[in-house]
Amino acid sequence: MKTSILITIAAFWLSSFTNDSVNKENIIYADSTYNPKENLQTVVVWFEDQYLEAGDSFLKKTETFHGRKRGEVRTEVMLALKTLSNTSFSKIKSNLNALESANQVSGIKQHWIINGFTCTVTTEGLKTIKTLEGVDKIFVKRTRSTSKRKDMGPEFIANKPASRFAVKTVASYPWNIEKIRAPEVWTEFGITGKGTLNIVHDSGFKLDVPALAETIYTNDGEIPGNGLDDDNNGFIDDYHGYNFDSGLANLNEPSIKRGTNIHGNMCAALISGTFETNTKQAVGIAPESQWAPIIGSSNIEQAVEWAIEQGADTYSMSFSQPNLGEFRTHWRKVLEQGTLCGVVFISGAGNFASGSKAAPVPVQMRNPEDIPNAVLGVAGVGEDGKRPVFSSQGPVEWNTDYYKEGTVNKPDFATFNANVPCIDPEGNLTNIANGNSFSSPHMAGIVSLMFSANPDLLPWEIKEILLKTAEDIGDKGFDYQSGNGFVNAYDAVKAVMEL
């Protein structure tokens, strides 16, 4: 009886939308992959008013912040984004509530990193959403499978161990740390990454490994493990990070054994790791920085918003998504506006130039590494300075409904991606890894050191310094294998110190 009353009330609401909230003449962009025969689909809706108004707005906007400090710009842009979002969303909130009561819409998530929202809709619900005030674009949301492993759960480092790292106690380091010239930065400049936060968007985390437990981020507004959202940000127990795909703080995989995939840990340790277990062998490029684990490619909006609000400096993404079609536009807008909030986004170039997963140019580099300007797409070389055959090459193409540059130069830079010494589940340097998954954290570690030297630098200023200091290792000038050249930490940080 109660259900029928609710539906009747909802039907009344649906039939009585006012002209203030409904525009029957809306001409909107709708993703061509939407299938009207599927009754339930998840979509992302954009409002017409966006902080970056058009496809060519990003670089123009960066010019307006010339001479400003990053913290000031972050605060200003966040406020502008949130104000825009609240203004647009408030105009149709009652309409969405009515649709929800009528079982035509569910799972509504308002976003501020773009002016819009995500929801799951029926065919009829989508027809109504298209008529709502301000609605401009609708994308079918591409989702990834969420881990349902029973042994995967939260783990909180209640008593975070003191860092064992001290420059004067370093006994050794693997070849990649030496060749990236990080130890020279530690000893000559006294820069070790202190004061920076690096997001590792990945999977395969074991949080109690000493090299990482010593530098893991703690959200002081949250009490770990009490099942409450203490800081009122919408996420329960997000003490170290969060799994935005499952909607839980379940990040830890305690049953991971030696020799199995521990991808997230390997990447995190290259950035913020201290010492190999029971040794004084340094494993990370920025060993006194902090890191936070994130899982969440299906909810990139929430993941990026969380990172910004925690004060992130770098955001490393060692994954690659093919065939996103027009949904690439949504990812690009999110990361462009995230960059304006002070975060340097970095992604490995991918491993699709050879083998069974080989793809042709211009789709060897995929999302997010194919995003120009706002994402540093990083390829790599081995210890011998040569490009492995698997390393994806550019250029890429941008011919979506919204972004129309055509051919775009990628990758941006190169670091190391072959035979890289990485920690195992016990924190020992026994994993020898290949892939551009590891070029991204090398770059994140370098950028962390740069921000540690000067936290006021804006993300696009970081990129300009990298362009000036990168070593040309391929064909003269830019090339589609190593981009603008190989980056080392010493020259990049030295340039920062000389500003």
- What are the residue numbers of the active site? 202, 263, 437
The secondary structure of 271-299, three-state, reads HHCCECCCCCEECCCCCCCEEEEEECHHH
Distance CA 276, CA 428 (A): 5
Distance CA 421, CA 426 (A): 14
Q: Are 259 and 211 in contact (CB under 8 A)?
A: no
Q: Are 193 and 449 in contact (CB under 8 A)?
A: yes
Distance CA 141, CA 93 (A): 21
Angle at 496 between CA 66 and CA 492, to 5 degrees: 120
Residue 366: what are its φ and ψ, rounded to 5°?
-120, -165
Q: Are 36 and 123 in contact (CB under 8 A)?
A: yes
Please provide the DSSP assignment of 292-338 as one string: EEEE-GGGHHHHHHHHHHTT-SEEEE---B---TTHHHHHHHHHHHH
Task: Give 26's Cβ-side CA count (13 Å radius).
Answer: 24
3 state DSSP class of 92: helix
Q: At what angle do helices 70-101 and 300-309 cross, to 10 degrees?
A: 140
- Side-by-side strand order, sheet with 116-121: 29-30, 135-140, 41-47, 116-121, 105-111
Residue 71 CB neighbour total at 10 angstroms: 12
Distance CA 466, CA 487 (A): 7
DSSP code for 378:
E
The conformational region for residue 65 under phi > 0 = left, psi -120 to 50 = alpha, else beta, is alpha
**Cis amide prior to 174 (ω within 30 degrees):** no
3 state DSSP class of 377: strand
DSSP code for 182:
H
Residue 15 CB neighbour total at 10 angstroms: 8
